[in-house]
């Protein structure tokens, strides 16, 4: 039954004209939209005036919170000076030059060059093309396959959606495309064997990864891509020694390492970049979301000088590097990115986020570990997830998977907390500016929602 809405109301016009991403369109027709009207700090308010804590920072992305006037001013100032210009055919603008330099200075040492795009999806799509182009340039036309991971998330274009290892991003889109492979998900709680330590689990996954490479032929495998901590796949923190072992195999077979830090970049995991925390030395680094606190679309691909030299030589041979976007290096977006990074530095938000991350992780475990509905509390820094299960002892999941998580997501609106449910886990990723008292309030609202969800699960599934 469709909601009763006023004629020509925003809700009615949304239902009449819009198709929403990651939304069940028929269910949306029944319920209608929640229209978010304004934001302030870690809170947003809907068109009816209801207040919500944005416990997922929008989409893992609003680092400095909502309503930051300095970013508004940075955008306005740049718009007045130069509202737009492209970066094709050697054109440049000052903000994009300054931001590229800043990113190279603050990211892992071997990264030397920057290519700007507009989203993480575009950035990862760009990397696929760059790798193919680069290997053609250096005489390795057969070395083109890219290995991603089950439950990894890398975007939704044809190429980046193929890298993503989630079924709803593939089903009926005819994805993945050829040449994209997936290895095991490093979720120790869910996939570790009885009696197996984290290190042993990591070794087993690394062995499976190496066997996949050998089965395909090392001369055909070009790259391995992974989020240091999986985000949209459920906030999966890798087991101890995992990244060291996976990276060693990549070096053994001359396979490029792509670190997708679209979610984890800029302080999210307690260090400026998650590569530092997990000992990753990438050939490519992908950044977006928190680079502008999502006030404007922007992403960046950073890569080594070795890769740049191969691409540059090939562009000279062909006559151009035939890839780019209308808004690559957009002056307003890069100006906002620069100001965003200045705010993060001036307010010492990396240090603040590390301290708040410790509080968040402790508070979540203290509050939810013994809850009858909770199987695992996991996370690092200011990103976490709580997995709900039908049976704590056996880790048995609900069937159908996702029904309990969907209820939790919707019930959170009632208690004024916005999160992301991934099947039957709920993810928390507040803005970096969150305070200790605000974390306590987030957890309080989540606890109320979880108790309601327990009652729903018992009524629906018994027990």
CATH number of the domain at 442, please.
Answer: 3.90.1150.10
The radius of gyration of the chain's CA atoms, rounded to the nearest angstrom, is: 22
Q: Is residue 391 located within the same domain as residue 261?
A: no
pLDDT at residue 278 in the model = 97
Asked, for residue 262, whether it belongs to a domain, the answer is: yes
Average pLDDT estimate for 395-417: 97
Domain with 287, as residue range(s), is 70-346
pTM: 0.96
Asked, for residue 2, whether it belongs to a domain, the answer is: no
Q: Is residue 374 located within the same domain as residue 272?
A: no
Using CA atoms, how far apart are residues 66 and 17, in angstroms rounded to an integer? 27
Q: Is the pLDDT of residue 2 over 80?
A: no
User: What are the counts of helices (DSSP H) followed by strands (DSSP E) for the chain?
Assistant: 16, 15
Q: Is residue 46 located within the same domain as residue 91?
A: no
Domain boundary at 312, 346, 380, which?
A: 346
Q: Is residue 98 located within the same domain as residue 205?
A: yes
Q: Is residue 45 located within the same domain as residue 194?
A: no
Q: Is residue 383 located within the same domain as residue 332?
A: no
Asked, for residue 23, whether it belongs to a domain, the answer is: no
Q: How many domains, the chain?
A: 2
Residues belonging to the chain: 463
Q: In the structure, what pLDDT confidence band is assigned to residue 7 with cuts at 50, 70 and 90?
A: confident
* CATH code, 210: 3.40.640.10
Q: Is the pLDDT of residue 5 over 90?
A: no
Closest CA to 252 of 210, 194, 191: 210
Q: Is the pLDDT of residue 1 over 60?
A: no
Asked, for residue 27, whether it belongs to a domain, the answer is: no
Asked, for residue 6, whether it belongs to a domain, the answer is: no
Q: Is the pLDDT of residue 4 over 70?
A: no
CB neighbours of residue 130 within 10 Å = 22
Asked, for residue 439, whether it belongs to a domain, the answer is: yes
pLDDT at residue 3 in the model = 61
Answer whether 152's CB lies under 8 Å from 233's CB.
yes
Average pLDDT estimate for 265-272: 97
Residue with tokens 């991350």: 357
Residue with tokens 């950044």: 287
Asked, for residue 111, whether it belongs to a domain, the answer is: yes
Domain boundary at 292, 322, 346, which?
A: 346
Q: Is residue 38 located within the same domain as residue 85?
A: no
The alpha carbon of residue 11 and the mean position of all alpha carbons in its chain are separated, in whole angstroms, by 29
- Type and span of the H or E element at 418: strand 417-418
pLDDT at residue 437 in the model = 98
- Exposed, middle or buried: residue 405 (CB in 10 Å: 0-12, 13-18, 19+)? buried
Q: Is residue 278 located within the same domain as residue 292?
A: yes
Average pLDDT estimate for 176-193: 98
Domain boundary at 293, 320, 346, which?
A: 346
Grouping H, G, I as helix, E, B as strand and the rest as coil, residue 93 is coil
The CA–CA distances, whole Å, from 166 to 49, 57, 154, 156, 190 equal 35, 22, 10, 11, 16
Answer whether 131's CB lies under 8 Å from 310's CB.
no
> How confident is the model over 49-100, as pLDDT tens digits?
999 999 999 999 999 999 999 999 999 999 999 999 999 999 999 999 999 9
Asked, for residue 5, whether it belongs to a domain, the answer is: no
Q: Is residue 41 located within the same domain as residue 123?
A: no
Using CA atoms, how far apart are residues 138 and 144, in angstroms rounded to an integer? 12
Q: Is residue 324 located within the same domain as residue 390?
A: no
CB neighbours of residue 149 within 10 Å = 26
Using CA atoms, how far apart are residues 87 and 326, in angstroms rounded to an integer? 8
Residues of the chain with pLDDT > 90, as a percent, come to 98
The DSSP code sequence of 143-154 is --EEEEETT---
Q: Is the pLDDT of residue 206 over 80?
A: yes
> How confident is the model over 342-387, as pLDDT tens digits?
999 999 999 999 999 999 999 999 999 999 999 999 999 999 999 9
Q: Is residue 355 located within the same domain as residue 340?
A: no
210 contacts: CB under 8 Å, gap ≥ 6: 249
Q: Is residue 275 located within the same domain as residue 357?
A: no
Q: Mean pLDDT for the chain?
A: 97
């Amino acid at each position: 039954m469709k909601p009763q809405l006023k004629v020509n109301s925003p809700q009615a016009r949304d239902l009449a004209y819009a198709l929403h991403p990651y939304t069940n369109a028929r269910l949306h027709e029944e319920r209608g939209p929640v229209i978010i009207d304004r934001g302030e700090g870690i809170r947003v308010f809907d068109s009816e005036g209801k207040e919500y804590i944005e416990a997922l920072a929008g989409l893992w992305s609003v680092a400095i919170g909502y309503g930051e006037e300095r970013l508004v001013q940075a955008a306005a100032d740049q718009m007045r000076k130069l509202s737009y210009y492209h970066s094709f055919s050697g054109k440049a603008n000052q903000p994009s030059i300054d931001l590229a330099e800043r990113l190279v200075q603050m990211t892992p040492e071997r990264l030397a060059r920057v290519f700007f795009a507009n989203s993480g999806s575009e950035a990862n799509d760009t990397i696929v093309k760059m790798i193919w182009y680069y290997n053609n340039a250096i005489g390795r036309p057969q070395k083109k396959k890219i290995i991603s991971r089950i439950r990894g998330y890398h975007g939704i274009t044809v190429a980046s959606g193929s890298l993503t290892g989630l079924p709803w991003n593939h089903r009926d889109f005819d994805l993945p495309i050829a040449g994209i492979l997936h290895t095991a998900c490093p979720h120790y709680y869910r996939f570790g064997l009885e009696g197996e330590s984290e290190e042993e689990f990591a070794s087993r996954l690394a062995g499976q990864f190496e066997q996949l490479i050998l089965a395909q032929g090392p001369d055909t495998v070009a790259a391995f891509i992974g989020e240091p901590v999986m985000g949209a796949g459920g906030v999966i923190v890798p087991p101890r020694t995992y990244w060291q072992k996976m990276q060693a195999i990549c070096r053994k077979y001359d396979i490029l390492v792509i670190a997708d830090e679209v979610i984890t970049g800029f302080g999210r995991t307690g260090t400026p970049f998650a590569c530092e925390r997990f000992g990753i030395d990438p050939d490519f680094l992908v950044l977006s979301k928190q680079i502008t606190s999502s006030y404007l679309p922007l992403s960046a691909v950073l890569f080594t000088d070795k890769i740049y030299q191969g691409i540059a030589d090939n562009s000279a041979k062909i006559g151009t590097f035939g890839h780019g976007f209308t808004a690559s290096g957009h002056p307003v977006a890069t100006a906002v990115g620069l100001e965003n990074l200045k705010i993060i530095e001036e307010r010492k938000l990396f240090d603040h986020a590390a301290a708040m991350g410790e509080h968040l992780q402790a508070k979540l475990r203290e509050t939810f570990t013994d809850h009858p509905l909770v199987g695992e509390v996991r996370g690092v820094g200011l990103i976490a997830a709580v997995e709900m299960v039908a049976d704590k002892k056996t880790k048995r999941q609900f069937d159908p998977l996702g029904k309990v998580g969907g209820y939790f997501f919707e019930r959170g609106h009632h208690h004024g907390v916005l999160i992301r449910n991934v099947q039957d886990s709920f993810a928390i990723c507040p803005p970096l500016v969150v305070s200790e008292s605000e974390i306590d309030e987030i957890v309080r609202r989540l606890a109320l929602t979880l108790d309601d969800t327990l009652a729903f699960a018992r009524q629906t599934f018994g027990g």
